[in-house]
Amino acid sequence: MNNGTTYPYELPKGWVWTRLGDVLGFVKGKKPKNLGTRNNLLTIPYIDINAFENEIFDEFTDGDKCPLCQTDDTLIVWDGARCGLVGRGVAGAIGSTLAKLPCFEVNSTYVFYFIQSMYEFINKRPRGVGIPHVEPSVFWNTLIPLSPLPEQRRVVAKIEELFTRLDAGVEALKNIKTQLKRYRQSVLKHAFEGKLTAEWRQAHKEEFEPASALLDRIKQERKKTAKSKYKELPPLDNSNLPELPEGWVWTVVEDVSILVTKGSTPTSYNFDYVPHGINFIKVENLKNGRVDRASLAEFITKDTHAFLKRSQLMKDDILFSIAGTIGKVAIVHSDDLPANINQAIAIIRCPWEFVNPDYIKIVFDSEIARQSIERRPRGVGMNNVSLGDVKNIVFPLPPLPEQHRIVEEVERRFSVADQIKKTVDHSLKQAERLRQSILKHAFEGKLVPQDPNDEPAEKLLERIRQERARQQAERKPAKSSKNKSNTKQMRLV
């Protein structure tokens, strides 16, 4: 194909550049009229984006007046944030945001892998502002290096051989990440059972006051802070709770805190956000146990900060997300301040001379907090956590020196796990780069050897053009004949 176009690189002998529009058809999906849960009439899976990406089928149809696909068809996300993403292996009725890409006499898997390698290119050049769509002029004019048909099959076979090995390695890495999560929870479980500090506790048991005395001192601090608003909490029923090491007690968050509240949104009080100013923290800014200041996108003025007094933060405050993504935890550091939070985050503030803030943080990071919240009575469909749920989280409180020791032991073990996770994440990124490298070599003709006896791709492309021209010629008379018939009927009337 020599029409004055500048091509990305030189192809091997027998290959040819062409456009995706020259070798692909297009069948846009649509929402069926009859759609619902599976029954005797609605038996065909409806492939929406969830079914496409996760093979989770929530809706079914009868197939009436809707395009269908088989497992070996290539589907592409045509509308939405993931536009340009291709997939295979699902059969059913094609959803309205998807399209089917039938191939003309070329190996469909070869073309599928090529489009997969071009995802970033297609996705970053969408059409539309609100909901992005694949830009047709970009997609159909994307150049594809077409190899001879027998070589297409050899390329596909080699890609799938290498991808099978790569996928096995990626799966092993993902299993390591899963095991690391379990390890972290196991460490926390042992921490709250006193197993991490058993030897240390035995060696130092005469050196510190029990946690029950610590609770009495915290109570006095709560009385002093709350003043006339102080109320005595009912004793905790620990009859069904596991036995704790000597000197420990079961307690609840409200018993050790001087403040448990949540933030507020400036716009609720007719305050606007500003481009620069005091940090305003949302759930998405809580990452890896800290406030991720690099992700902060909204700020408030000093006046707004002063007005929203309840949501002002102090050093060592524990932040716990109670709406949206529930259960994200962070501890406030001095360089995060001044700052406020919105209503989706709870603040837990304790008298820190009696409680280690890092210990409280790992309580909220653990299964203890989640299980305690889940045991609380909840209404139907409630996805949020109330401040009452937070205040009533039940957890074991050790003496203060042992809290410090537990934090040291947990952090030491977590630092090792974090290093392993970094290595795994790096390896996963390398695997993705290797996947792209395999595809790059495949479509540069460097993955499998060429066979001089293969029919050149130019002849294959010429046959495709002839077949498409023949199909178009056949459709035109049919349309013309139909129009003549309609005209004749109108004249008779």
Q: Which residue has the tokens 């405050």?
A: 317
Quick check: do 16-148 and 210-398 share a fold? Answer: yes
The order of strands in the sheet holding 339-341 is 299-300, 278-281, 339-341
Separation CA 296–CA 294 (nearest Å): 6
Q: Which residues pair with 318 in a beta bridge?
A: 331, 348
Question: Cα(241)–Cα(139) distance, rounded to whole angstroms?
Answer: 62
- Asked if residue 234 lies in contact with residue 252, where contact means CB atoms within 8 angstroms, the answer is no
**Which SS3 state, helix, strand or coil, does residue 403 take?**
helix
Residues in the chain: 493
Q: Left if phi > 0, otherwise alpha if psi is -120 to 50, otherwise beta: which for 105?
A: left
Residue type, 43: T
Angstrom distance (rounded) from CA 185 to CA 363: 11
Q: How far apart are the first and last CA of the chain?
A: 53
Structure confidence at residue 269 (pLDDT):
92
Residue 486: what pLDDT? 43
Distance, CA of 319 to CA of 311 (rounded, Å): 11
| Separation of alpha carbons 337 and 312, rounded Å | 9
The pLDDT value given to residue 469: 87
Residue 137 one-letter amino acid: S
Provide the edge-to-edge strand list for the sheet that holds 318-321. Answer: 259-262, 345-349, 318-321, 329-331
Q: Specify the pTM.
A: 0.78
DSSP string across 138-205: HHHT-EEEEPPHHHHHHHHHHHHHHHHHHHHHHHHHHHHHHHHHHHHHHHHHHHHTT-TTHHHHHHHT
For the domain spanning 16-148, the CATH number is: 3.90.220.20
Listed by start position, the domains of the chain span: 16-148, 150-208+399-449, 210-398
Place of tokens 């846009």: 28
pLDDT tens-digit profile, the chain (493 residues): 555 678 889 999 999 999 999 999 999 999 999 999 999 999 999 999 989 988 899 999 998 989 999 999 999 999 999 999 999 998 999 999 999 999 999 999 999 999 999 999 999 999 987 889 999 999 999 999 999 999 999 999 999 999 999 999 999 999 999 999 999 999 999 999 999 999 999 999 888 899 999 999 999 998 888 877 778 888 888 888 999 999 999 999 999 999 999 999 999 999 999 999 999 999 999 999 999 999 999 999 999 999 999 899 999 999 999 998 899 999 999 999 999 999 999 999 999 999 999 999 999 999 988 888 877 655 444 468 899 999 999 999 999 999 999 999 999 999 999 999 999 999 999 999 999 999 999 999 999 999 999 999 999 999 999 988 888 888 776 554 444 444 333 332 2
Q: Residue 99 forms beta bridges with which residues?
A: 28, 76
Phi, psi of 161 (to 5 degrees): -65, -50
Considering the segment(s) 210-398 as one domain, its CATH architecture is: Alpha-Beta Complex (3.90)
CB 333 within 8 A of CB 291: yes
